[in-house]
Structure 1
Amino acid sequence: MRWSDIKSSESSVFTPKKITVVGAGNVGATAAFLAAQKELADIVLIDVVEGVPQGKALDMYESSPIQRFDSSVIGTNDYADTADSDLVIITAGIARKPGMSRNDLLSINAGIVAEVTRNIVAHSPNCILLVVTNPLDAMVYTALKVSGFPKHRVIGMAGVLDAARMRAFIADELQVSINNVHAFVLGGHGDTMVPLPRYSTVAGIPITELLPDERVQAICERTADGGAEIVRLLKTGSAFYAPGASVVQMAEAIIRDNKRILPCCAYLEGEYGVDGYYLGVPCKLGAGGLEAIVELDLTEDEQRDLSRSLEAVAELVKAVDALRLY
């Protein structure tokens, strides 16, 4: 039997979506693999280290017959291969090590994110940027300033991860299906994040009605410490499975125009009384990127905690501005 090429005028009608993942470390590679498995788009994995993105991409692609996905996966060190990406996930940067706060990462990672953003914009001027690099709130601000993109095309991944951790802890505490649990976390991605127990539910029932105050408080504290807890356990690295899955959930909502309401790091211009900063808030994600911000009615205590979180973010932004990267 012979395979013959059949020429058709329709063969080039469909152009698959293209997602670039910048950074072939644990977070980036996990995100690339999950996005390929979901067949969200063709995937480009780029990194400055020669051979690493190529090797990981080839390994992923060789899993496709087993995992049954048709997305192509390529690795590269050349930004030209990322041209015309629809969505770009930025994970490049150094990971947090034991004893380091997210703030300690700022000067190094800000420079990396700025350089990455310039390269991406040069080759994909119409893409949507999803930033994962820490300290998140300052890094997504850096990407916004360097790119010159409108705010709906520059979004940070934080709240999805923080809420996922909170959901996991709630499900474990109550011994219920994770599918019945929903949670919301506002504010900066770090120690000052603001978990919202009133808006965190099990089958629609607020956890404040299912658990005593001290257990609710313990869950909130563990959520805020979630990343640091994993760093302490790993000793030589930081979390990557949950962060990778979190940013892919955001990517899926955008690529498939799902209009999902997810907690994301968005640039605020008056919402929640905040102007000119990125902060974690409920967002609607769709084909346009950030399509709406949902404003919740907060109690005085919640608003106070959010203001405290904003103060921490503002300090990071001030430090980034001082670097004069844009």
Structure 2
Amino acid sequence: MKITIIGAGNVGATTAQRIIDNELANELVLVDIIEGIPQGKGLDMYESTPITGVDVKVIGTNGYEETANSDIVIITAGVARKPGMSREDLLNTNFGIVKEATLKSIEKSPNAIIIVVTNPLDVMAYTAWRISGFERHRVIGMAGVLDTARFRTFIAMELNVSVEDVYAFVLGGHGDDMVPLVRYTTVAGIPISELLPKEKIDQLVKRTREGGAEIVSYLKTGSAYYAPSAAIVEMVESIVKDKKRILPCSVLLQGEYGLNDVFVGVPVKLGRKGVEEIIELKLTDEEKQALHASASRVKSIIDSLKFD
């Protein structure tokens, strides 16, 4: 298994280290436009492998020759958010970056599965799909896993219980109008509505929607990377090991949930071929309305892009 990560910043480098530590690839290529950064970080990671006891060849490069025949390409490259910025504020700059990264990577790895992490995530996933011409099951956006992890964390903090016992799904676009499905949220099988009052649940939903901005407000000069990298690796592991995990990911919908030609987060089965199944939950009218509103915002941004 060969994996390429485009972007050697905090998200890309942390993801690379997690993939190496979990021995999910026998070769990992780290690409970045800044000379010396991927080479230095890549060599440093490679030198850690005798200590951790994993056999992963690590290559850092500024080009794409070394990425040839990658099984998975992870795009993290792009400008990170700063305090006061929305994910949409990054649109034009990151649109160009993702277009170039997609074109250059698919030229060398035409059979790869692409995982997109760059913000605004759903729009950038759509960009990679459109530019690559790949089948929709081979282009996946990382969002729902991260958003769900944040929701689960806040619930565990509030109830003072193990995060392992909290189950949830967050659907929709990776933005302020994402849709945490409270009705499907449980703690050790107990519906969250039986453990917390509606007012407190609403607060946790709001905090989840603003989870990325909360971290940006603390860091000042960057955005989250520990939880995002963990989310990426959970997806990668399900693909590499053909685990067929059911995870919320941003995928192209073609009629599912009554939506077309838009990437939003929904539950999918992830296996060796990428997205092997899109799972349609039975939503209430209110949930469906929220999902469509979130998708509508993503679609409006997609429609503003110039692909020609």
Query: TM-score, structure 2 length as denominator?
Result: 0.98
1:257 is aligned, of 242, 258, 263, to: 242
Unaligned regions of 5+ residues in structure 2, if any?
none
Cα drift, residue 68 of structure 1? 2.4
Instruction: Give the SS at the match of 2:111.
Output: coil
For residues 40-55 of structure 1, the aligned pairs below 5 Å read: 40-41=24-25, 42-55=27-40
- Which 4+ runs in 1 deviate beyond 3 A? none
Identical residues among aligned pairs (%): 60
Q: What does residue 27 of structure 1 align with?
A: 11
1:194 is aligned, of 158, 179, 188, to: 179
1:266 is aligned, of 240, 251, 257, to: 251
Instruction: Give the SS at the match of 1:85.
Output: coil
Q: What does residue 215 of structure 2 align with?
A: 230
For residues 1-326 of structure 1, the aligned pairs below 5 Å read: 17-41=1-25, 42-320=27-305, 323-324=306-307, 326=308
Instruction: Give the SS at the match of 1:166.
Output: helix
Higher mean alpha-carbon deviation, 66-75 vs 119-128, is at 66-75
Q: Following the alignment from structure 2 to structure 1, what is the Cα–Cα distance between the partners of residues 178 and 230?
A: 20
User: What is the CA deviation profile of residues 106-150 of structure 1, one whole-angstrom value per residue up to 9, with x for unaligned ones?
Assistant: 111011000000000100000000000000011000000100000
Cα drift, residue 65 of structure 1? 2.6
Aligned CA-pair RMSD: 0.8
Which one has a bigger Cα radius of gyration?
A: 1
User: What is the CA deviation profile of residues 152-194 of structure 1, one whole-angstrom value per residue up to 9, with x for unaligned ones?
Assistant: 0000000000000011111111111111111100100000100
Q: Following the alignment from structure 1 to structure 2, what is the Cα–Cα distance between the partners of residues 185 and 40?
A: 26
Q: Following the alignment from structure 1 to structure 2, what is the Cα–Cα distance between the partners of residues 209 and 99?
A: 36
Query: TM-score, structure 1 length as denominator?
Result: 0.93
Cα drift, residue 66 of structure 1? 2.7
Unaligned regions of 5+ residues in structure 1, if any?
1-16
Q: Following the alignment from structure 2 to structure 1, what is the Cα–Cα distance between the partners of residues 191 and 238?
A: 26
Instruction: Give the SS at the match of 1:78.
Output: coil
